[in-house]
């Protein structure tokens, strides 16, 4: 009997809440995972690499992919497209890997709708809107107009927290990362991942 299955772990939350930093801590404690790299039409930020941080593409190429059904999910955020290619996801799931997504609320809803039985989701945020604003400003990566857009979007996204399995406030990095590691470790043993008839048959033999 196979005791661990391929599964999906979705992380969502406003830009600046610390998802990337938390994931770096999680990777130190879990193995056999695949991080889903999104495809986007936005321009690379300083230090970002194609195929590492994102797959960067044109609006025309992205919309062609939409028409050909190449994306598991996609959304338009801050006037740019973001999406997830199906091929590497299916390959990772077939290898019983944990597929980790860092996607927005729109993307979460689409993946949840299509693959609900294998999805575990976590909404991550800062202790308050003011702390989020301070973090975004301290990054020095976006101008004030972009920051205001992100804050406006965060106010909308927080209202979707009840759609997620877990709610994680990233106040203390060490504490938050321990909680996220625990969630990641149990994701692939959820009962909904297993075929009941097969489990009973194997157990009885």
Q: What is the pLDDT of residues 108-148, one digit of tens each?
A: 998 899 899 999 999 999 999 999 999 999 887 788 999 99
In whole angstroms, what is the distance from residue 146 CA to residue 136 CA?
10
Domains of the chain are 7-36+97-204 (3.40.50.300)
What is the value of pTM for the model shown?
A: 0.81
pLDDT at 3 over 70: no
- CA atoms of 80 and 173, how far apart (whole Å): 30
The answer to whether the beta carbons of residues 132 and 14 sit under 8 Å apart is: yes
């Amino acid at each position: 009997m196979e005791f661990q299955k391929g599964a999906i772990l979705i992380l969502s939350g406003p830009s600046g809440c610390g998802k990337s930093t938390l994931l770096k801590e999680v990777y130190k404690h879990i193995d056999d995972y695949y991080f889903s790299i999104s495809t986007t039409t936005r321009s690379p930020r300083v230090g970002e690499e194609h195929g590492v941080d994102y797959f960067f593409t044109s609006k025309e190429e992205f919309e062609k992919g939409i028409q050909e059904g190449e994306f598991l999910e996609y959304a338009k955020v801050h006037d740019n497209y973001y999406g997830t290619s199906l091929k590497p996801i299916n390959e990772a799931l077939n290898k019983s890997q944990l597929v980790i997504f860092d996607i927005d609320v729109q993307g979460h809803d689409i993946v949840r709708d299509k693959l609900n039985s294998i999805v575990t989701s976590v909404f991550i945020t800062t202790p308050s809107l003011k702390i989020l604003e301070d973090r975004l400003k301290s990054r020095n990566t976006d101008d004030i107009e972009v920051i205001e857009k992100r804050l406006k979007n965060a106010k909308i996204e927080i209202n979707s927290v009840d759609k997620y399995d877990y709610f994680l406030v990233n106040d203390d990095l060490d504490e938050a990362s321990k909680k996220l590691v625990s969630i990641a470790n149990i994701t692939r043993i959820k009962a909904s991942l297993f075929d009941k008839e097969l489990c009973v048959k194997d157990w009885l033999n």
